[in-house]
Amino acid sequence: MSHGSSNEERFRSLVEATPDTVILHAGGKLLFINPAGVRLLAASSPEELIGRPMKDFVQAGNRSIVLDRVNPPFTGPSKLTEDLMVRLDSEVIEVEVVGLPSSYENRPATQLVIRDITQRKRAEAALRASEQRYRSLFEGVPVGVYRISRRGELELLNGAMAELLGNRHRDALIGLDTGELYTNPDDRTVWKAIMQYEGRVTNFETQIQRLDGSKIWVRSHAQALHDEHGEVTGYEATVEDISDRKRVEEQLLHDALHDSLTKLPNRTLLMDRLSHCLARRVRFADYRCAVLFLDLDRFKMVNDSFGHAVGDHLLIQASHRLADCLRPNDTLARLGGDEFAILLDDVKDASNAVRVAQRIQQELEVPFQLEGREVYSSASIGIALSDGESRPEDVVRDADTAMYRSKSQGRAGYAIFDSRMHAEVSTQLQLETDLRRALASWQFEVFYQPIVALSSGNLAGFEALVRWRHPEHGLVLPGEFMPMAEETGLINPIGHGVMLEACRQMKVWNDRRAPREPVFISVNLSTRQFRQPDLFDQLSQLLDSSGLSGDRLTIEITEGAVMNEPDAVLQTLARIKRLGIRISLDDFGTGYSSLSVLHRLPFDRIKIDRWFVQHIGVDNGSDELVEGIVALCRGRRLDIIAEGVETNEQRQKLADLGCGFAQGFLFSEPISQEHAGRLLATPSPNFESM
């Protein structure tokens, strides 16, 4: 310590005022202590302390800096160290100490600056304990707890959360995009919207896909985390698996909507589905559905003479047979007793419903085997179609009315609700008769519509389109008779004839054109045709008998043909492709799962539906769709054919978008065989100058 009274005084007043303890000691004895030090050591005056051995203030057995510094020499300030000291009242306190070389009354001494950190240490210990408690809570709760970033990536999670996700290695889960877990991506959007408006999301129920692919239902609560500026930095959430509860709920819901005996939908569910169907009319103007009301003719007699158990069996067996007569989208319901109802989704007219009624009656002609007895039963069926503004109750009531009429006319019949529907059915039945005759005497002709390469304007191929040369009505377009042909199965022989004619013709034309570039022929296969078990044999025989090389033939199928049973479809397509035949996806853009189908199946060509082509340049959606398809097809080396091109603008726009081929009235309507032959005979058929 330097000499000179002013310096010394300044030092003293500083030392008097500081809240830290200042001690000077030398030779193991305390020489000076400031007022803060007197308070720290629980003395009443400095005199009580001065002259006492320093080790009095050090906890026995403790390696102490307070003692270490008792004997100098040391040269500079020591490191800040934590230490334990003993007060006069024997209480041990925790301190932070720094020592410096100094002097006292001209002798070397050690100066200690000491700060009491007992409070701070206690607070730290308490914090550690509470953190530990929180940690064990975080880890111990059977609920998933986690934190995600603003973008949804996992940042922190507990063991329960890792288990919920199906992966015990939680480090591997950090960074996982939780948004990808939703099985219904819409739920993510909903979650975000609620979070944005309310800052928190509570009781949010959704289904997620775990990492092993299994699906579970969860309920979660989440709240936003903010930084000091109030910006959202992430979210904190808890989540629990509620799959069991959901299953119970679903079971209850199922029970409430199904008949316990036959397990069929009950009246409530039927009415619900019917109202959904009727709502579709708003979007699809020509959409109609039908209800068949069925009453088993002999049920009462069976029940009365053989007992309820046998009656129950009859109902169950009958329900199986009825179900066999329906398409996947139709609903068979038991309304009670021996009454059933069938909702036929998407019917053209009453004749579709009549066909189902006839099929049911055929099915019921075979006797039932009930506990060793043969029992005959039949059904009376009433048919009603949705119409204009009809409500669900109306349609069912009309079907019921028609059923009573049918019953009054004798068993095993059917009746249609009104006379206009009668008329429809008879025209349809007439059409069916005519169509059978047309097949027998082959009144069909194949027309050919040119398909043009957009870059050169050259003719690349033809699409074969069937026409019916009706003896009275003249040339009939496929729209008039295809639905009936499809429904009755007549499409198979008709389609086969068309393919044979088109392939033979193409062979002749290409032979004539040689050595010029051959053109291809594209034929349509309806869903029913595509599902023929012997389709592959038919096609390979077709190539043999016509002599056409497989790679000159393309078949066009729609999504409907390939939607179900993807594995079986894939096999069929693979076999067909081995013949060299190309596969074209027709009417692309009109189906449900277009892009996914496109990804999975080995198509060679995509035909963009006319609707999109005609909206090109009119609405953005169409442009984007076409651009998207082009991009997708480029990567997979698929040809794109635009259908229904009618204007030069459309043609230009399609070419700009990168579409390779087009067909449509701009180039040519479908033309007769003779006309197509003349076109091919020109040196190089070109549509550049249109």
Closest approach, Cβ 665 to Ca ion, in A, equals: 14
SS (H, E, C) 342-357: EEECCCCCHHHHHHHH
- C-alpha 623/C-alpha 236 separation (Å) is 42
| ∠ Cα 154 158 159 (to 5°) | 120
Helices 419-440 + 478-488 axis angle, to 10: 90
Instruction: Match 């692309």 to its residue by tokens.
Output: 588
Q: In the stretch 594-613, what mask flags binding to ligand C2E with x, by CB under 6 A?
A: ----------------x---
CA angle 370, 376, 379 (to 5 degrees): 115
Smallest CA-to-CA distance from 115 within 94, 134, 100 is with 94
Whole-angstrom Cα distance, residue 44 to residue 55?
19
Selected from 234, 518, 589, 644, the binder of ligand C2E by CB under 6 A is: 644
Part in contact with Ca ion (CB under 5 A); list of ranges 243-251, 258-266, 390-398, 521-529: 521-529
Q: Which of 392, 586, 603, 661 binds ligand C2E (CB under 6 A)?
A: 586
Tokens (6 digits) for 450: 């040119």
**Residue listed under structure tokens 């459309």:** 650
Which of 116, 295, 586, 639 touches Ca ion by CB under 5 A?
A: 586
Instruction: Determine if 442 is a binding residue for ligand C2E (CB under 6 A).
Output: no
| Contact between 501 and Ca ion per CB under 5 A | no
SS (H, E, C) 130-199: HHHHHHHHHHHCCCEEEEEECCCEEEEECHHHHHHCCCCCHHHHCCCEHHHHECCHHHHHHHHHHHHHHC
642 near ligand C2E, judged by CB under 6 A: no
- Where does this chain touch Ca ion (CB under 5 A) — which range of 55-63, 256-264, 430-438, 584-592? 584-592
Please state, as a whole number, how many other Cβ atoms lie within 10 Å of the Cβ of residue 493: 13
| Cα 113 from chain centroid (whole Å) | 69
Nearest position to ligand C2E, beta carbon: 664
Work out how close the CB of 148 gets to ligand C2E at its nearest, in angstroms, rounded to a whole number. 48
Q: Determine if 465 is a binding residue for ligand C2E (CB under 6 A).
A: yes
| Interacting residues with Ca ion between 150 and 209 (CB under 5 A) | none
Q: Which is nearer to Ca ion, 297 or 586 (CB)?
A: 586
Q: How many residues does the chain have?
A: 690
Residue pointed to by tokens 């397990």: 263
Contact between 556 and Ca ion per CB under 5 A: yes
Instruction: Assess 524 for contact with ligand C2E (CB under 6 A).
Output: yes
With tokens 């651009």, the residue in question is 627
- 539 makes contact, choosing from ligand C2E, Ca ion, none, with CB < 5 to 8 Å by partner type, with none
Q: Which two tokens stand for residue 581?
A: 């035949």
Measured distance CA(686)–CA(454) in Å, rounded: 10
Q: Which is nearer to ligand C2E, 23 or 641 (CB)?
A: 641
Binding footprint of Ca ion, residue count (CB under 5 A): 5
> Is residue 559 within the footprint of Ca ion (CB under 5 A)?
no
As measured in angstroms, the least distance from the Cβ of 547 to ligand C2E is 20
Closest approach of Cβ 477 to ligand C2E, in Å? 4
Q: Name which position in 116, 295, 501, 587 contacts ligand C2E (CB under 6 A).
A: 587
Q: How far apart (Å, rounded) are the C-alpha atoms in residues 492 and 486?
A: 8
Instruction: Name the DSSP letter for residue 518.
Output: P
- Among 211, 309, 477, 690, which residue sits at the site for ligand C2E (rule: CB under 6 A)? 477
Mask 657-676, x = binds ligand C2E (CB under 6 A)? ------xxx----x------
* Separation between Cα atoms, residue 535 and residue 557, nearest integer Å: 13
- Cβ at position 556, least distance to ligand C2E in Å: 6
Q: Is 479 in the site for ligand C2E (CB under 6 A)?
A: yes
Q: Which stretch binds Ca ion (CB under 5 A): 224-232, 281-289, 353-361, 524-532?
A: 524-532
Residue 43 interacts with which of Ca ion, ligand C2E, none, CB < 5 to 8 Å by class: none
- According to the binding rule CB under 6 A, does residue 161 interact with ligand C2E? no
Separation between Cα atoms, residue 318 and residue 338, nearest integer Å:
10
| Radius of gyration of the chain measured on its C-alpha atoms | 44
Nearest to 402 by CA among 388, 381, 378, 379: 381
Which residues of the shown chain bind Ca ion in the complex (CB under 5 A)? Answer: 524, 556, 586-587, 643
Which residues of the shown chain bind ligand C2E in the complex (CB under 6 A)? Answer: 449, 464-466, 477-479, 482, 491, 495, 498, 524-526, 529, 556, 586-587, 610, 643-646, 663-665, 670
